[in-house]
Amino acid sequence: MPDATHPCLRCGACCAGFRVAFHWSETDACEGGLTPTALTEPLDPHRVVMRGTYGAAPLRCEQLRGHVATDAHCGIYPLRPSPCRELKAAWEDGAPSAQCDKARIAHGMAPLTPADWRDA
Ligand code: SF4
Ligand code: SF4
């Protein structure tokens, strides 16, 4: 898990805003898969979704711990699937992130800026 000053640990918005879908082979039903199958549900013959991220709004991954916009973290961080690993926080690596911005705005937070990373 990132250290406590990481802006994502005061956010969690992307875990409560998007469908998190990925190929079933990322689950532990497949040799080498990481994400526990029990924490997912089928989406189509090839893909599963994290429970809580599919269906009627509001969406919230069941593995999100804490409170969005205050203190939030992933309960299965080492086992999270590829969409979670690939969604970059805006400016963490010096680049914008439209998904991060969209999620934060939807939860009433300002988009991150490079200044948010100075002490992270
Ligand atoms: S919306 Fe952005 S800042 Fe918030 S948890 Fe996701 S990546 Fe991190
Ligand atoms: S698995 Fe973890 S990182 Fe991915 S959406 Fe759920 S709480 Fe967020």
**Residue 96 falls inside a structural domain:** no
**Residue 60 falls inside a structural domain:** yes
**Residue 111 falls inside a structural domain:** no
The number of distinct structural domains making up the chain is 1
Query: Using CA atoms, how far apart are residues 42 and 93, in angstroms rounded to an integer?
Result: 33
Which ligand minimizes its atom distance to the CA of 100?
Answer: 1
CA of 61 to the centre of ligand 2 (A): 6
3-state SS class at 58: coil
What are the backbone dihedrals phi and psi of residue 111, each rounded to the nearest 5 degrees, phi first? -60, 150
Strand 64-67 with 47-50, pairing: unpaired
The pLDDT tens digits along the chain (120 residues) read: 445 689 999 999 999 999 999 999 999 999 999 999 999 999 999 999 999 999 988 999 999 999 999 999 999 999 999 999 999 999 999 999 999 999 999 999 999 999 999 876
Query: Using CA atoms, how far apart are residues 67 and 69, in angstroms rounded to an integer?
Result: 6
**Full residue range of the structural domain in which residue 80 is found:** 7-86
Is the distance from the beta carbon of residue 64 to the nearest atom of ligand 2 less than 6 Å?
Answer: yes
CA of 79 to the centre of ligand 2 (A): 9
**Residue 93 falls inside a structural domain:** no
**Residue 118 falls inside a structural domain:** no
Helix (H) or strand (E) holding 106: helix 98-106
**Residue 112 falls inside a structural domain:** no
Query: Using CA atoms, how far apart are residues 25 and 22, in angstroms rounded to an integer?
Result: 8
**Residue 114 falls inside a structural domain:** no
Q: Using most ligand atoms within 8 A of CB, pick from 8, 9, 15, 68 the residue to mutate for ligand 2.
A: 15
Atom 8, ligand 2: which residue's CA is nearest?
15
Is the distance from the beta carbon of residue 104 to the nearest atom of ligand 1 less than 6 Å?
Answer: yes
